[in-house]
Amino acid sequence: MAQQPNKLKGRKILLGISGGIAAYKAADLASKLTGAGAAVRTIMTENACKLIAPITLEAVTGQPVYTSMWQGPQDFKIGHVQIADWADLVVAAPATANLIAKVAGGICDDLLTTTLCVCWDKPVLLAPAMNSQMWANPVVQRNLTVLQEQLKFKTVGPETGRLACGTEGIGRMAEVPQIIDAILESFK
């Protein structure tokens, strides 16, 4: 990670966590961003919550974690729009094939996909993570191209290495220092 103190101080980063096994890295990412002075709010999909507990993200960020479009009456102020408006940058880590496909297709069936649909005009960074066969799928690549070319979403990774399925190949989510470097690059 680049040694650039204060570059993240005061930045508002919305972290979206989808349901890939790499979700465990998101807690470290959130912790390091918060430690660098960024305000980090988190949206987790239902499947992400099966892999890592929202309380973990609340503890490392000091902020509530959003897991549903229908979370508490005090939050109903068209939440996905307000959360998107609040953020200087949105980071989806991990960005699964499912998440990429939904956003590329305009499918808004949970809080994260709905929020990303609202964010088409602001900086979004995706950290893809999936099995190498999924990553190589032409449909996944087409969906990623749609997000990169039409919505100007940026990506970091994936990396080559040992995957959750036990095989070696491309598909590992980028490591936290690489993601932070990409975030810093987004703010230039």
Which residues belong to the active site?
165
23-35 vs 176-186: helix crossing angle, rounded to 10: 50
Contacts of 69 (CB under 8 A, 6+ apart): 79, 80, 110, 111, 114
Q: Are 95 and 126 in contact (CB under 8 A)?
A: yes
* C-alpha span between 158 and 138 (Å, rounded): 16
Contacts of 49 (CB under 8 A, 6+ apart): 67
- Identify which of 90, 89, 106, 109 has the alpha carbon closest to the alpha carbon of residue 143: 106
* C-alpha span between 129 and 153 (Å, rounded): 16
Residue found under tokens 């980090």:
40
Residue 69, phi then psi, degrees to nearest 5: -65, -20
